[in-house]
Amino acid sequence: METKYCLDCETKILGRADKKFCSDACRNNYNNRQNSDTTALMRNINNALRKNRRILQESISNEEGKASVPTKKLTSQGFSFDYFTHILNTKTGNTYYFCYEYGYRKLDGDYYLVVKREE
């Protein structure tokens, strides 16, 4: 029978023939290390999307579900126009950028229209 070693700490494995790790801690450590590069990038993008969503949500204070907000207010709160979840092109030719259910589009002047989309 072939001797197997833990993929994380390289200690000898006892037990089942198909076992790859000596413990749950080693399994978790190995998988976290394998995913660390993409996880950091994904975590940063998801944090930016959540922050954008929160800023858009706080911008709508009325019950209509929309508001006109100065660009300066959005940027001063840390809104990043580089991150959004999807784009919606309307029949009237307007383009909305969405962070989940909250969207925005550029208006004339230095304002954005912020809307909440009900599905």
Q: Is the pLDDT of residue 119 over 80?
A: no
Hey, what amino acid is at 36? Answer: S
Per-residue pLDDT band for 11 (boundaries 50, 70, 90) equals: very high
Beta-carbon contacts of residue 97 (< 8 Å; ≥ 6 apart)? 81, 84, 86, 87, 103, 104, 105
Provide the residue ranges of all domains of the chain, joining segments of one domain with +.
24-116
Q: Torsion-angle region of residue 40: left (phi > 0), alpha (psi -120 to 50) or beta?
A: alpha
Alpha carbon distance 86, 84 (integer Å):
6
Interval 49-93: pLDDT, tens = 999 999 999 999 877 789 999 999 999 999 999 999 999 999 999
pTM beyond 0.75: the answer is no
Per-residue pLDDT band for 1 (boundaries 50, 70, 90) equals: low
Interval 20-54: pLDDT, tens = 999 999 999 999 988 877 778 888 999 999 999 99
